[in-house]
Amino acid sequence: MRNDQPLEMPFEYLTRKENGKQFEEDITKNWYIARHFVLDKFSEMKIGFSSDSKDHLHVVVNGDSPIMLSIARQVALTAHFINYRDGSKVEEPQNRTVITIVSKNPHILEELEKEEYLCNLPKYCKVVNRGEVLENEGFYIDIELHVTESCPKEESVKSFSEQDVDAYMKGNEGKELQGIDTCKAIYASRMYDLGAELYNIPAEDIHCTERYSLALDVFQHEMLKKKLGKMISKEWRTMSLSKLKEKISNILCADCFALREACLIKEDANYIRTRKVWAKYNEQLSVSEHARWVVEKLVMGYRPLNSKERYYDEMLHVQFKNKDKRKKYRDSLKRRDSDPAHIDLCSYRDLRRINPDDLKFDSFLMLAIPNILAKVNE
Considering the entire predicted model, what is its pTM? 0.96
CB 345 within 8 A of CB 294: yes
What SS3 class is residue 126?
A: strand
Q: For residue 147, which phi and psi values (nearest 5 degrees)?
A: -125, 125
pLDDT value, residue 152 = 85
In angstroms, the CA 122 to CA 124 distance is 6
Q: Which pLDDT score is estimated for 31? A: 98
pLDDT tens, residue by residue, 248-273:
999 999 999 999 999 999 998 889 99
CA dist., res. 10 & res. 317, Å (int): 38
Q: Which of 253, 282, 255 is nearest to 267 (CA)?
A: 282
Whether 139 contacts 350, CB under 8 Å: no
pLDDT of residue 88: 66
Q: What is the pLDDT, as a whole number, of residue 90?
A: 67
Question: What does the pLDDT read at residue 136?
Answer: 81
* Secondary structure of 37-101 in HEC code, one letter for each residue: HHHHHHHHHCCCCCCCCCCCCEEEEECCCHHHHHHHHHHHHHCCCCCCECCCCCCCCECCEEEEE
Furthest C-alpha separation in the chain: 62
Residues in the chain: 378
Over the chain (378 residues), the average pLDDT of each successive run of 10 is: 75 93 96 97 95 95 98 98 83 90 97 98 96 86 96 86 96 88 97 93 89 96 94 95 97 97 93 92 96 98 96 86 88 94 95 91 96 93
Residue in 347, 339, 264, 353 with CA at minimum distance from that of residue 309 = 339
